[in-house]
Amino acid sequence: MDRLKELRIDRSDKAQSAKGGLVLGVVVLFLVLAASAAWWWLGRTQVAEVRVASVRQISGAEAEAEASVLDASGYVTARLRATVSSKITGKITEVLVEEGMEIADGQLLARLDDATALRQLSLAEAELSSTRSMLAETDVLLADAERTWKRFDKLVASNVSSQAQLDTAIANRDALLARLAVGREQVVVRERQVEVRRQQLDDTFIRAPFAGVAVTKNAQPGEMISPVSAGGGFTRTGVCTLVDMGSLEIEVDVNEAYINRVKPDQRVVATLDAYPDWKIPAAVITTVPTADRQKATVRVRIGFDALDPRILPDMGAKVAFLSEDEPERPENASQPRLTVPKSALRKDGEQDIVFVVQGEILERRAVQVGTTQGDSVQIEAGLTAGENVVISGPDDLAEGDRVSVQ
């Protein structure tokens, strides 16, 4: 019996070994899965470095300016501008204008000393009165001469008086007729002299030749003024400078090499140096048909679509000439628009997308793209102004990734 037990195969060690191998395999599989999970988690939580740009909100005029074909600079000028002077030389007694005053057409600006003009007018009126009195006397004498002539004419016909007496009466009548004609002409002359003296008196009143705004005051009471320049430098040639603010426009000098890009009625966006963020719609009035040979430039006149009190004469201005191929501006052309750099756009199939940085997390955002202008593209929908979008970073960015902004 004992011999038979020795011949049996002992399987207990092999079973134990198999059991140990199974446990080892489970442990290895667990370690592999744990390592894979750790690798995936580390990959998901790794921070990617990206560069961002803000979504810009620009006006329709700014969007047009970015599409300009030519830029130039110049100044605001007034087509109707005058230094108002007097028609005669005289001493100023009163100045009724100050800088910044709005002046009406014909408004009194200053007065000159009118003492001499008043006396000359009085003298002319007295001479006119005297001439009219002499004319009345001549009328009386002529009436008497005509009666005498008629009487002698009857007496000669009756052979009571001689022909010589009749001839004398006729000559006296004709002389008085001639004197009357001269007297009437003298009355006309005296009347013209009175008109001249009145005009000279009126010339002592300096009036505005047109409506506008006084931008300078050049004279004070007590100073002499003259329509022409006088020696010594103490005689003024103007009381004030008057500008018609309704005639403001821009004049720019364009290099003659690029003048072929400028056409009449071409759309323009103007920017004043004083208000760099204010885009002003305008249009080309005309190109002055002459060139400056020293500067090799051609002057271009540009008119504002609408004037504004902020626009002042002699302000510096920059203009952007828009392409003639630009489509007609829609009714909402003046509405604000959103733009982002073209590098912010990515493709997900046929859909345009951008990645918006919200804190440290990426958010995938589908957008509707508009027109492209240079390095920028307009966004019709999907974004709001001020949001930060990714413009450079890893190609495998996905929604929910953590990022670090450079």
Under 8 Å CB-to-CB from 67, ≥6 apart: which residues?
Answer: 322, 323, 326, 373, 374
Write down the pLDDT at residue 164.
77
Under 8 Å CB-to-CB from 51, ≥6 apart: which residues?
Answer: 390, 391, 392, 393, 405, 406
Q: Could you tell me if residue 185 is inside a domain?
A: yes
Residues 224 and 372 in one domain: no
Write down the pLDDT at residue 314.
92
Q: Could you tell me if residue 330 is inside a domain?
A: no
Q: Give pLDDT tens digits for 163-220.
A: 777 777 778 787 778 888 888 888 888 899 999 999 999 999 999 999 999 999 999 9
Strand pairing report for 403-405 and 48-54:
parallel
Average pLDDT, the chain: 81
Distances (CA, A) of 300 to 50, 260, 307, 324: 47, 12, 19, 17
Residues 256 and 359 in one domain: no
CATH assignment at residue 302 = 2.40.30.170
- With cut-offs at 50, 70 and 90, classify the pLDDT of residue 374: low
Distances (CA, A) of 382 to 50, 237, 339, 364: 21, 65, 11, 10
CATH assignment at residue 214 = 2.40.50.100
Q: Is the pLDDT of residue 246 over 70?
A: yes
For residue 195, which of 293, 287, 127, 270 has the smallest C-alpha distance? 127
164 or 46, which is more confident: 164
Q: Could you tell me if residue 163 is inside a domain?
A: yes
Q: Give pLDDT tens digits for 327-342.
A: 444 444 455 678 888 8
Verdict on whether the full-model pTM lies above 0.75: no
Residues 367 and 232 in one domain: no
Helix (H) or strand (E) holding 147: helix 115-157
Q: Is the pLDDT of residue 361 over 90?
A: no
Write down the pLDDT at residue 332.
46
Where are any strands of DSSP class E within 178-258? 205-207, 212-217, 224-225, 235-236, 240-243, 248-255
Report how many domains make up the chain. Answer: 4
Write down the pLDDT at residue 328.
43
- With beta carbons less than 8 A apart as the criterion, state whether 112 and 90 touch: yes
Write down the pLDDT at residue 256.
92
Q: What is the mean pLDDT of residues 38-44?
A: 53
For residue 201, which of 95, 120, 110 has the smallest C-alpha distance? 120
Helix (H) or strand (E) holding 290: strand 275-292
**Domain, as residue range, for 396:** 48-58+336-405
CATH assignment at residue 352 = 2.40.420.20
- Report CA torsion sign: 377, 379, 380, 386: negative
Percent of the chain with pLDDT over 90: 38
Q: What is the mean pLDDT of residues 131-153?
A: 79
Q: Is the pLDDT of residue 116 over 80?
A: yes
Residues 97 and 210 in one domain: yes
Q: Could you tell me if residue 389 is inside a domain?
A: yes
Q: Phi and psi of 234, rounded to 5°?
A: -105, 0
- Using the 3D structure, point to which of 260, 290, 322 is the last residue of a domain: 322
Residues 132 and 169 in one domain: yes
Residues 263 and 234 in one domain: no
